[in-house]
């Protein structure tokens, strides 16, 4: 399905406004192979270093040294990341993957393993573009809501129907913005909008006809529907399509030129294919994997974003800097603190949009209780820990060729534990 491009703002104008280079076009240098699988990107001394591992590391721009990270630390982290991904690759957990571990000041170690697809031997790199799946909820939608809350345009404890008067389903009037963000709204987890509707407009009608099946604030149930509604809320309050809002107010200011909905055809060679989709009866590459997001036109509050490791590392650094990066403030620091704190621990450990460590989720066992993160169905995950000053990013296309491959859960926890343990020099729990 061909969808209209929602980006009416010239990306070069957005980039120039924030003094970042426009990086939407793929650069051949990022796809060239290198014979060396591990190299140091700073002096091999006891000072700060960055370790970059993988055959497709960029030639054109090597990351700068990370203050406060010694050579031994960087080497341990690099070895740990490589070992986890190589084991996962040998276990056929995914066709290809890219991982990065860093701090607020930069990437300590990164590694690409495998290939983009059985038919494409390109090794993943920091510029490979991945379908983020549910990372969209936090990278795109939560970011927009956080900004609107910080600006006083949305109140967390206001009923959602105040902003979305078209949501007239019985029980909707009791649900607040906070309930949607913390998955405590009482809404069902999911609905097959893509089967019930033939157009984005019909899908929206079905969404607005959906009622909660229990009272809010009595249970935790992860709900895609809640975040589709939040995407609609952003559009209604801001007066901008969700894709345009995120591009102008979040991704543009952060210099995230590889991050957008509906990636253009010129990006195709850099995009990791996902599933041979039973619904669409073909392999999916360059369009959203999630069926409901596809039916909604490729842009939704719960799924639809594509991004690269380079961009998501910048995003993580911004969060570890409490909402600012490169002299540009994107989020209010006090609102960041509110959104990354667990809300009602009698129900769950969910923050607003984000997860927090539970001892049984993808955070593993070594991130602190202050950490927050999220996963995506296609095999993506991002965790940030302000207390330890570290982020752990994993991007894969584990659903290629089929979503029945469920080995990614163990890879996520192994990577988080190995990276944090190596950084601390701690081999035990």
pLDDT at residue 47 tops 90: no
pLDDT score of 44? 31
pLDDT band (50, 70, 90) for residue 426? confident
Q: Which residues pair with 22 in a beta bridge?
A: none
In this model, does residue 193 exceed pLDDT 50? yes
Q: Tell me the pLDDT band of 53, cut-offs 50, 70 and 90.
A: low
**What global pTM score does this model have?**
0.87
pLDDT band, residue 428 (cuts 50/70/90)? low
Tell me the pLDDT band of 46, cut-offs 50, 70 and 90. Answer: very low
Best mean pLDDT range from 17-21, 26-30, 192-196:
192-196
Lowest mean pLDDT among 30-39, 109-118, 302-311: 30-39
Average pLDDT of 228-239?
98
pLDDT the model gives residue 104: 98
Asked if pLDDT for residue 8 goes beyond 90, the answer is: no
325-375 residue pLDDT tens: 999 999 999 999 999 999 999 999 999 999 999 999 999 999 999 999 999
Domains of the chain: 15-131+254-339+357-424 (3.40.710)
pLDDT at 64: 53
- What percent of the chain is predicted at pLDDT more than 90? 84
| pLDDT class of 121 with cuts at 50, 70, 90 | very high
Asked if the model's pLDDT at residue 28 lies above 50, the reply is no
The pLDDT assigned to 39 comes to 32
Question: What pLDDT digit, counting tens, does each position of 147-187 carry?
Answer: 999 999 999 999 999 999 999 999 999 999 999 999 999 99
Contact 146, 233 (CB under 8 A): no
The confidence score (pLDDT) of residue 427 equals: 60
Does 257 score more than 90 pLDDT? yes
Lowest mean pLDDT of 9-18, 66-75, 156-165, name the range: 9-18
Mean pLDDT score, 99-110: 98
Distance between CA atoms of 157 and 308, rounded to whole angstroms? 34
Judged on CB neighbours under 10 Å (0-12, 13-18, 19+), 152 is exposed
pLDDT at res. 65 = 73
- Indicate the range of 15-19, 65-69, 207-211, 253-257 predicted with least confidence: 15-19
């Amino acid at each position: 399905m061909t969808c209209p491009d929602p980006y009416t703002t010239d990306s070069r104008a957005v980039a120039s406004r924030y003094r970042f280079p426009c990086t939407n076009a793929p650069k051949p240098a990022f796809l060239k192979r290198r014979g060396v699988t591990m190299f140091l990107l700073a002096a091999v001394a006891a000072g700060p270093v960055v370790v970059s591992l993988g055959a497709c590391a960029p030639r054109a721009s090597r990351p700068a040294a990370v203050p406060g990270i010694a050579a031994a630390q960087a080497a341990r982290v690099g070895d740990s990341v490589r070992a986890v991904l190589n084991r996962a690759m040998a276990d056929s957990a995914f066709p290809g993957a890219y991982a990065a571990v860093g701090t607020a000041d930069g990437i300590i170690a990164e590694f690409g393993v495998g290939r983009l697809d059985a038919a494409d031997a390109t090794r993943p790199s920091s510029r490979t573009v991945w379908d983020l799946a549910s990372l969209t909820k936090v990278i795109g939608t939560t970011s927009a809501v956080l900004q609107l809350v910080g600006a006083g345009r949305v109140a967390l404890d206001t009923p959602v129907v105040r902003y979305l008067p078209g949501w007239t389903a019985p029980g909707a009037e009791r649900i607040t913005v906070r309930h949607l963000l913390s998955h405590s709204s009482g809404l069902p987890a999911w609905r097959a909008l893509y089967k019930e509707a033939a157009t984005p407009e019909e899908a929206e009608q079905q969404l607005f006809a959906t009622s909660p099946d229990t009272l809010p604030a009595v249970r935790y149930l992860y709900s895609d529907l809640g975040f589709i509604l939040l995407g609609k809320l952003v559009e209604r309050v801001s007066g901008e399509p969700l894709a345009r809002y995120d591009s102008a107010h979040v991704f543009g200011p952060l210099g995230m030129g590889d991050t957008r909905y509906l990636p253009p055809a010129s990006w195709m060679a850099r995009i990791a294919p996902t599933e041979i989709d039973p619904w669409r009866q073909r392999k999916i590459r360059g369009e959203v994997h999630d069926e409901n997001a596809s039916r909604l036109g490729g842009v939704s509050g719960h799924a639809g974003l594509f991004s690269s490791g380079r961009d998501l590392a910048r995003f993580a650094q911004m969060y570890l800097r409490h909402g600012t990066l490169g002299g540009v403030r994107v989020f209010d620091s006090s609102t960041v603190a509110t959104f990354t704190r667990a809300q009602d621990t009698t129900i769950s450990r969910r923050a607003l949009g984000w997860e927090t460590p539970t001892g049984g989720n993808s955070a593993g066992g070594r991130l602190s209780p202050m950490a927050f993160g999220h996963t995506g169905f296609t095999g993506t995950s991002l965790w940030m820990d302000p207390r330890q000053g570290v982020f752990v990013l994993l991007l894969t296309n584990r659903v290629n060729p089929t979503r029945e491959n469920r080995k990614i859960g163990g890879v996520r926890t192994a990577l988080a534990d190995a990276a944090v343990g190596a950084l601390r020099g701690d081999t035990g729990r």
